[in-house]
Chains A and B, each alone.
Chain A
């Protein structure tokens, strides 16, 4: 549409990821490395799954639209499964590489705990996934026109940005929960993450019925936020501690 929409959508889609990066990742070079490597793993999974989809579409009739749509759905499901497989592969890689990371880190002992790695890896997946979802749409939002000539909704850009935001945060939370589950050998966690990922994908198929797709996705995101909070060592006790700490701080300072 215009610069206003471009910046608005860019901030919506990448604002949280950007702030997470600045405040938690940018200072530690090791975290940056794990973030980039995580993004790369996601990218490879997308590449392999898109290869499968590409071969499938080339091998079939390009004019048959329902077939192409079904192939797209099949390709996306395959991509979701492959993303989780690569997440698991990244977990294994990080566990194995812990020794090497310890060697190059400045502190003694383990450089990063598994939880930190989980969070960073999840964020890496999220950023790359968000970038691939949103950059193309963002670049077209700079022009003077908006979507709608062929019957699409005019809220296309803002809902794409909201969806990207949700997906980025979801990938982060899934990363935390997933690694924790693998660490504790709770394999059902992996299955639940996979199912939730597939559910989010199928909700996105409901577009342009945005009420039916965005609201449930945000509900799932809040659920995952709570789960990730608890699985990374948080608890209600800590929250109350925080609150009283603040209260006592304000009392002492005043």
Chain B
């Protein structure tokens, strides 16, 4: 088309004139908003949740909402629908969102500006993962669907609603100022008089390709039209991080004779309404940081005097979305695709949310149904005894919850679905969660009271031991001692097992404040240093990538666990890549990572070295996608929709009258000119007398 080619010409001309600002008309019209976080669409076997915009974007006149009563203006009173509603985060509540959802013909989209927090807000459901845990109707009718204990009573389910308009969150403050300035200049109602055009408007593009449910979108993704098949949706998934104390040959799958393993589990991932904003401080970080510290505490004791049973440190990914990681591990164990199987599992200790205590006790949750069996009950009692005796000399104690209470949402439930294994889940809550911001973007460092004195530099903040770190260190010490006893270790060694508060506080800083710090840099591989950012990492599990690439959080936990449980070797970098050539090294048993190391005080070169560790990554993609059963009720079927681009921009819109006037004038000019030209051209011989030139023939 002529317009497109001339646009291309202009684009090339503009690109050539890069140093001189190209005064394209588009620059006079639009202000692009760059730092936005969209709400995207997720699908499972039965529903689609999240937000959708139309394919050419949704445009609406901006309205800054001041209170819930002010909703009348966009929803009924305002004369220029549709409206793009701008809310502060304190107004981002379920009632306001549902009112806008019901009037969605007048609402073009919603933009949330994070500012002050609410006293409590949890967009997750009240009974997380209720259909994929162990408490089904058949397991125990009274305990299913949170009939006894509602775990997340503050949950409003906003994350699981479906909106047919786009919802974005703004990150930067500069852009919010521009929008508010535009609103105050053009859109303010002045004392009852009508609004003057032009009005300030915003357009949001977040068109999602997938619709209906996972089965539909996976079917559409598999149609192979051309050499570039278009994926409409992708399954969620990632990697679990696993480490045995005594590693097995990684190619020998299935049951291991006479091997008994104690699994220590924690959850890695978390979510929020805006998936990229997920923080998960209390929800997941408190658990896995405690487990990492316990792994470090156990390292020396288990190397000097290895206990009878093996210990597996398992960090499950994708647990928020119907237990993706743990269901995959149980599936692999049942189908002999993992180095041990369910018969080898002796007991399970899981660390849930442990950072927000309402007293000095931590609670031990167990499953009442499996404890009806005497052997299981005895084992659980033994585990409880080991845990309670491990808090001797520490400032807290473990207390069992009541017998009739089910387990909170935890990866242990998936193991119970397969087999009645004895186990305990540690948590800071006795019944409902203490976490006021479960799976929301307010569950950040401030929620854990992670405060640093203001005059510290980032490196000093890294080293500063906060109170939260101290309390988590004690929990980690108790967990490590209990695991050691549970694995049959020598009782005399137990009091030498202590978690290191410096490690814990550095981990909390790195995971909740800033991942690009000196310790994380020392621990990571050189080719992965871009994973470290000046912000905390993302906790959303994301889509399972085809290549062997994991997300930033997985790499961080993998390399940290390697550093805390592995041994430094003096292999060179090339030997580290191919250690099998050396006589005592074997990649079947161990993994070898070349890590950056610290910068010594008097030089600029890092002292990199090769670390030998038993840490491995295991694929955490739901078995439903392995089996091809996209309507599975047994396994997680969550997928994320694909999209082409996501952007937002603001501009002024003109009144309809002016547009119609322009069109009218244009049509009038066209017709007049056609008539006049026709008339003049037919009468041209009369109007223009031809002057005969004297010398025609010369032409």
Which A residues fall within an 8 A CB radius of B? Answer: 1-2, 4-5, 7-12, 15-16, 18-20, 22-24, 54, 57-58, 62, 68, 98-99, 102, 109-110, 113, 115, 135-150, 152, 154-158, 161, 165, 229, 232-235, 238-239, 241-242, 245
Apart from A144-B203, A146-B653, 17 more pairs, CB < 8 Å: A8-B659, A12-B665, A24-B677, A113-B690, A140-B26, A140-B29, A142-B3, A143-B29, A143-B651, A144-B201, A145-B29, A145-B201, A146-B652, A147-B652, A148-B654, A150-B28, A158-B662
Contact yes or no, B666 A145, CB < 8 A: no
* Residues of B662-679 whose CB lies within 8 A of A: 662-667, 669-670, 673-674, 676-678
Contact yes or no, B662 A23, CB < 8 A: no
Contact yes or no, B29 A149, CB < 8 A: yes
- The number of chain B residues with a CB under 8 A from chain A is 57
Binds A, one of B229-237, B445-453, B681-689: B681-689
In the complex, what residues of A have CB within 8 A of residue B693's CB? 113
In the complex, what residues of B have CB within 8 A of residue A54's CB? 17
A194 to B415, CA, bound (A): 90
**B25, B650, B691 — most chain A CB neighbours (10 Å):** B25
Decide if B116 is an interface residue (CB 8 Å cutoff).
Answer: no
Contact yes or no, B654 A154, CB < 8 A: yes
Residue from A16, A98, A140 in contact with B699 in the complex, judged by beta carbons closer than 8 Å: A98
A161 to B665, CA, bound (A): 11
- Minimum Cβ distance to chain A for residue B694 (Å): 13
Decide if B7 is an interface residue (CB 8 Å cutoff).
Answer: yes
- Minimum Cβ distance to chain B for residue A249 (Å): 11
Decide if B506 is an interface residue (CB 8 Å cutoff).
Answer: no
In the complex, what residues of A have CB within 8 A of residue B699's CB? 98-99, 102, 109-110
* Residues of B1-59 whose CB lies within 8 A of A: 2-3, 6-7, 10, 17, 19-20, 24-26, 28-31, 57, 59
A135 to B690, CA, bound (A): 37
Contact yes or no, A161 B677, CB < 8 A: no
Contact yes or no, A5 B3, CB < 8 A: no
Known: A15-B673, A233-B688. A9 touches B658 (CB 8 A): no
Contact yes or no, A9 B666, CB < 8 A: yes
Known: A11-B669, A158-B665. A135 touches B654 (CB 8 A): no
Considering the complex, give the chain B residue whose CB is closest to the CB of A24. B681
Known: A11-B670, A16-B677, A54-B17. A145 touches B689 (CB 8 A): no
Considering the complex, give the chain B residue whose CB is closest to the CB of A114. B693
Chain B 78-108 near chain A by CB (<8 Å), digits 1 or 0: 0000000000000000000000000000000
Residue from A20, A110, A232 in contact with B677 in the complex, judged by beta carbons closer than 8 Å: A20
Decide if B696 is an interface residue (CB 8 Å cutoff).
Answer: yes
Decide if B198 is an interface residue (CB 8 Å cutoff).
Answer: yes
In the complex, what residues of B have CB within 8 A of residue A2's CB? 659
- Minimum Cβ distance to chain B for residue A37 (Å): 18
Considering the complex, give the chain B residue whose CB is closest to the CB of A10. B666
Residue from A10, A23, A102, A136 in contact with B10 in the complex, judged by beta carbons closer than 8 Å: A136
- Minimum Cβ distance to chain A for residue B482 (Å): 63
**A113, A143, A239, A242 — most chain B CB neighbours (10 Å):** A143
Residue from B20, B28, B689 in contact with A147 in the complex, judged by beta carbons closer than 8 Å: B28
Residue from A102, A139, A150 in contact with B3 in the complex, judged by beta carbons closer than 8 Å: A139
Residue from B2, B197, B651, B678 in contact with A145 in the complex, judged by beta carbons closer than 8 Å: B651
Contact yes or no, A136 B25, CB < 8 A: yes
Decide if B146 is an interface residue (CB 8 Å cutoff).
Answer: no
Residue from A8, A110, A115, A161 in contact with B696 in the complex, judged by beta carbons closer than 8 Å: A110
Considering the complex, give the chain A residue whose CB is closest to the CB of B19. A62
In the complex, what residues of A have CB within 8 A of residue B71's CB? none
Decide if B660 is an interface residue (CB 8 Å cutoff).
Answer: yes
Considering the complex, give the chain A residue whose CB is closest to the CB of B27. A150
Residue from B20, B653, B681, B686 in contact with A242 in the complex, judged by beta carbons closer than 8 Å: B686
In the complex, what residues of B have CB within 8 A of residue A229's CB? 687
Decide if B182 is an interface residue (CB 8 Å cutoff).
Answer: yes
Contact yes or no, A149 B31, CB < 8 A: yes
Contact yes or no, A68 B686, CB < 8 A: no
Known: A1-B654, A9-B666, A57-B20. A233 touches B6 (CB 8 A): no
A24 to B683, CA, bound (A): 12
A5 to B689, CA, bound (A): 41
A57 to B20, CA, bound (A): 8
In the complex, what residues of A have CB within 8 A of residue B678's CB? 19, 23
In the complex, what residues of B have CB within 8 A of residue A8's CB? 659, 661-667
14 contacting pairs across A/B (C-beta < 8 A) = A1-B654, A12-B666, A22-B674, A23-B674, A109-B697, A138-B3, A139-B7, A140-B26, A143-B651, A147-B29, A149-B28, A154-B658, A155-B658, A235-B689
